[in-house]
Amino acid sequence: MGTCNHCNNRSVTISHTIGFCGDCIKTHFDILWPQIKKVHDHSRRAFKLPEDPPQAADGIACGLCLHECRIPERETGFCGLRYVQNGKIRGGRPHEGNLYYYHDPLPTNCVSDFVCPGGTGCGYPEYAVSEGPEKGYKNLAVFYHACSFNCLYCQNYHFKTRTFSSQKLSAKKLANAADKTTNCICYFGGDATPQILHAIKTSRIAVRDADDRIMRICWETNGAMKEPFLTMMADLSLTSGGCIKFDLKAWEEDIHYTLCGVTNSRTLENFRKLAEWTKKRPQPPFLIASTLLVPGYVDESEVSSIARFISDLNPEIPYSLLAFYPQFYLNDLPTTSRAHALRCRTAAEDAGLRNVHIGNLHLLAENHY
């Protein structure tokens, strides 16, 4: 508990880094945003990232994500990876992936594990090798070192120190890491969007080289990419038996700006588009959503609104509620309580969703918030 710097409420759960409670942010955002923006700016300067998406009149257009950066010579886009040299965009091209990868035995701790073929056998025999968890097989987990968001609670913020790494890996070399016991590739990070050209080429090579073997293509993303890349991702996942998991971080745009530094409008628009694709392949689930339950900011009201949005599109879309762990600039908040998670699950189910899951159970605190 703490005191909100705006309403002086002494009994609210707030991050002292942000300084304001969720209610005040939603009702007085225009007044409070300049102070919240200073926190985001500070967090980006610490990693030598641009404070705002560049919009230089003579800049080179990137065109991969919602920011639509126009990048000046010798400077970078908002992601910190895409840059301009000699009038051309560099970074994130198919032959220069900035990433690390590892093999994760199936079933994994993937957010989508509770409904995916690797964790459940769903889609057998077309998309899974067994009727249950694919034990003895593995996932190629690909972590990209760049992101188009600036989440103050980022659980993997250390990647920011490697966004400028000179070590690069071509799409072909990454695809070759998928051997005969690899059934799926999952892209996450950071986020795949700043390096989507690399991920798409890698996926196409891996699927081609798998011949008749199962090779699912999956994504964990903030969902803020532009077309035609959204459709390219979707097509790869749909035809391979993979899934796309969108992290719907908040419903109210003011809360989303506060936590992530950017709008959620492109994410919601893209999720709405992909919901139409779920009719093409009901099983295994093609589209999955998750929300991190940030104490004081992402409560049952936020979850209820997100769930109604999903349910109106397709009530069968799986939804995972994730426990928050204090990290990065929001390391002064408590972990999500069991009571908080249960209230949010009830809210999601009451909104009409038929497959609501609570993840990261081991993180739930036994307090009463």
pLDDT tens digits, 78-115: 999 999 999 999 998 888 899 999 999 999 888 999 99
| 8: CB partners within 8 A, 6+ apart | none
Superfamily grouping for domain 99-363: Aldolase class I (3.20.20.70)
CA 78, CA 56: separation in Å to the nearest integer? Answer: 13
- The reply to whether omega before 284 is within 30° of 0 (cis) is yes
Low-confidence ranges of the chain (pLDDT < 70): 165-166, 367-369
**pLDDT value of position 367:** 65
| Largest pairwise CA distance in the chain | 63
Start-to-end CA distance of the chain, whole Å, equals 10
pTM for the predicted model, two decimal places: 0.96
**pLDDT value of position 163:** 78
**pLDDT value of position 109:** 83
Per-residue HEC secondary structure of the chain comes to CECCCCCCCCCECCCCCCCCCHHHHHHCHHHHHHHHHHHHHHHHHCCCCCCCCCECCCCEECCCECCCCEECCCCECCCCCCEEECCEEECCCCCCECEEEEEEECCCCCCCCCCCHHHHCCCCCCCCCCCCCCCCCEEEEEEECCCCCCCCCCCCHHHHHHCCCCCCECHHHHHCCCCCCEEEEEEEECCCHHHHHHHHHHHHHHHHHCCCCCCEEEEEECCCECCCHHHHHHHHHHHHCCCEEEECCCCCHHHHHHHHCCCCHHHHHHHHHHHHHHHCCCCCCCEEEEEEECCCCCCHHHHHHHHHHHHHHCCCCCEEEEECCCCHHHCCCCCCEHHHHHHHHHHHHHCCCCCEEEECHHHCECCCC
Give burial (CB, 10 Å; 0-12/13-18/19+) of 109.
Answer: exposed
**pLDDT value of position 250:** 98
Query: CA-CA distances (angstroms) from residue 133 to 46, 90, 195, 273?
Result: 42, 41, 30, 30
Give the tens place of pLDDT for each residue, 177-234. Answer: 999 999 999 999 999 999 999 999 999 999 999 998 999 999 999 999 999 999 999 9
CA 4, CA 291: separation in Å to the nearest integer? Answer: 24
**pLDDT value of position 2:** 86
**pLDDT value of position 166:** 60
